[in-house]
């Protein structure tokens, strides 16, 4: 059974860097074809894909946010970490990590974490 869970701060100040951790189980990020992505959703709004890391270390970022994002993996801990720099109140959202179960250049996500709400405010 695949599960994912996000963790990190619930409140960050403008200009700070956000660091979120996705801890997963039920699969290995060293297995060919596997990927873990991050998606966010501002309150009452649509989903927005942020980043994806593949089993081989390849990384893909949303073109509109690429300059602010970094995604890494720790296979030994079954974790994926997302950092986002220069946080702004418009970045207030629920942040989800998800298992890429449907293949494609990026693919689609078949299992999602519960999400973690991050508020950006001074």
Applying CB under 8 A, the residues found at the interface with other proteins are: 45-49, 52, 60, 62-64, 96, 98, 101-102, 104-115
Q: How far is the CB of 74 from other proteins (least distance, A)?
A: 23
Q: How far is the CB of 52 from other proteins (least distance, A)?
A: 8
User: Is the CB of 16 or the CB of 48 nearer to other proteins?
Assistant: 48
User: Is the CB of 45 or the CB of 122 nearer to other proteins?
Assistant: 45
Q: Which residues on neighbouring strands pair with residue 79, listed in sequence order?
A: 23, 74
How far is 103 from 114, CA to CA, in rounded Å?
Answer: 22
- CB 80 within 8 Å of CB 36: yes
**Nearest C-alpha neighbor of 99 from the set 17, 34, 16:** 34
């Amino acid at each position: 059974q695949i599960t994912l869970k996000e963790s990190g701060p619930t409140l960050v100040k403008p200009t700070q860097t956000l660091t979120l951790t996705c801890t997963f189980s039920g699969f290995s990020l060293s297995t060919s074809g596997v990927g873990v992505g991050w998606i966010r959703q501002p309150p009452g709004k649509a989903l927005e894909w942020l980043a994806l890391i593949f089993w081989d270390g390849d990384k893909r970022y949303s073109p509109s946010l690429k300059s602010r994002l970094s995604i890494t993996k720790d296979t030994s801990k079954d974790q994926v970490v997302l950092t986002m720099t220069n946080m702004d109140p418009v970045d207030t959202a629920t942040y989800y990590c998800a298992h890429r179960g449907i293949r494609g250049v990026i693919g689609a996500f078949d299992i999602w974490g519960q999400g973690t709400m991050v508020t950006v405010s001074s």
